[in-house]
Amino acid sequence: MTQTLTGENLRAAKAKKVAVVGAGVAGSTIALRLAELGIDTTLIEKGPSLVNGPPFCHLHAGGNLYREISDQQCLTLLQQSIDTTKVYAQSINVRPTVLAVPTSDPSEPLDLLPRLEKLRAQYQVLVDQDASNEVLGKPADYFRLYNRAEIEAIGQRPLPEQAQCDEDWLVAFAKQVNLNTLKFPLVVVQEYGLSAFRWAAIANLAIERLPSCHVQTLTSVVDISPSAATGNGWQITTKPASYNSAASTDQDVQVTEYDYVVNACGFKSGELDDMIDAKRQRMVEFKASFVTHWPECQGLWPEVVFHGQRGTPQGMAQLTPYPGGYFQLHGMTQAITLFEDGLVTSCEQSAQPRLAPHFIKKIDNQWPDHLVKERTVSNIAHIAQFIPDFKSANTASQPLFGAQQIPGEDPDLRAADVSFDQQGYARAEIVKASSALATADAILKDLLDTGVITSEQAQHYLNEHYFPVTTQCNHDEITELAEQLARDRNYPEALARNFS
């Protein structure tokens, strides 16, 4: 049975104050991790709600979408995805991913095999260590290869209404994909989907229930400086972040002392670094995915990845299914998901990479309609190369898009978590949502190592994900709030539902 915190431990943990700036996936997970242990945490977010940054749809339990990254990054993402699934179970969309290599691609499907075998072996090790790690099915079934005859035979079956077994996810695929466009065998891997709206709902619900977490939304951090009063810790200056910020007056400015600051500002992390003259090399990349509805959609769809070389006209095409015939699409070409000059780097004078103003306008929700249509139509055509009937899909909403940070100098880095700078200052630097928990773990350890907190209880839970409040959020309340958030943000409610 899970141990509960005693009043005494709670008071001890509460003695010091932690500020987490930015309530995206990283910041809200860090705030949850600390507040679940009774640590006094203030989460400061300039937007109106939590987890409303760039989108995510794929858990990356093995990183198999990225042929170009190292095996070690894939193994790290596998472990982090398993941990994430255990804490945010209700945000997981359980369905497999088909990895298909098009005939136009120079590589062969079996090139993927050595990595898949490494991942399967590591998954087995993790399950042997702790049976609760078995969240992606049996390790032996982590991936399977299908030759063309097997796929054609599956295509003869009637369309199932619900998936009773993995092959049920392949019937619609087998019937509607032009198999002549693909090399065989196909790989089917237990990489699941991840719902951004459901994660947002869980974070909003759980944080509201944790007395140690104080949330300040619509609040911008405009300055940080070392604390003059104590010589330790930080002074944070905030202002209301009303969208009409010119209306705020000096009286609206708040200055508060904290013992520890976490910079979880996503692609704006460099702005906080600059406030305290902390040097950091990072990149920022603007990308978009497109939301479509396919009225003639038949049957259940898995996630499908048609591999291709990033940045070329044949860049990877990714089809992510949601209930009701809705699909989120990516096309890793300059005309679809990627953008000319969309990748920028920091410089010696500033840790904040500067995106061109037209990207910032889009982030502030000013996508010109013609561009939404143009790129969505291109993405539909990119997918229809392989699924001809998909050409009847249409634009369902504005894109899901945003800018993400990539620490360091390698634009292919996908598994990153945290860096520490001056005493009492940590930066969350995740590239994938599933790395948020590892970031929170490292920050908890730093708080203990540096003596900011001395709680025995926190020490005890250093190696255990203690999320009693978060994991108690139930399916129906999560769905209700996730649908509400989807409506508020002008996306179809279907994106907030899962397949269960």
Residue numbers of the site for ligand FAD (CB under 6 A)? 21-27, 44-47, 52-58, 60, 194, 220-221, 264-268, 271, 287-289, 401-402, 404, 428, 430-434
Task: Report the alpha-carbon distance of residue 381 to residue 472 in Å, rounded.
Answer: 42
Euclidean distance between the first and the last CA atom of the chain, given in angstroms as a whole number: 27
Q: In Å, how far are 9, 50, 137, 384, 491 from 300, measured between CA atoms? A: 49, 31, 19, 17, 21
Question: Which amino acid, 118?
Answer: K
Contacting residues for 203 by C-beta, under 8 A, at least 6 apart: 23, 28, 29, 32, 50, 51
User: Strands across the sheet with 17-21, in order?
Assistant: 213-216, 40-44, 17-21, 260-263, 425-428, 418-420
Contacting residues for 277 by C-beta, under 8 A, at least 6 apart: none
SS3 per residue for 407-453: ECCCCCCCCCCEEECCCCEEEECCCCHHHHHHHHHHHHHHHHHCCCC
CB 190 within 8 A of CB 165: no
Task: Report the alpha-carbon distance of residue 75 to residue 63 in Å, rounded.
Answer: 8
Q: Is 72 left (phi over 0), alpha (psi -120 to 50) or beta?
A: alpha
Cis bond leading into 185, ω under 30°? yes
Q: In Å, how far are 55, 298, 489 from 496, measured between CA atoms? A: 12, 20, 11
Residue 178: both structure tokens together: 């032009």
Q: Which is nearer to ligand FAD, 56 or 146 (CB)?
A: 56
CB 196 within 8 A of CB 56: yes
Taking each helix axis as running N to C, give the angle between helix 475-488 and helix 196-209, from 0 to 180 degrees, rounded to the nearest 10: 110
Parallel, antiparallel or unpaired: strands 425-428 and 260-263: parallel
Q: In Å, how far are 291, 432, 492 from 326, measured between CA atoms? A: 7, 23, 8
Q: In Å, how far are 34, 88, 207, 446, 449 from 5, measured between CA atoms? A: 13, 21, 17, 21, 21
CB 64 within 8 A of CB 190: no
Q: Is 375 helix (H, G, I), strand (E, B) or coil?
A: helix
CB 202 within 8 A of CB 90: yes
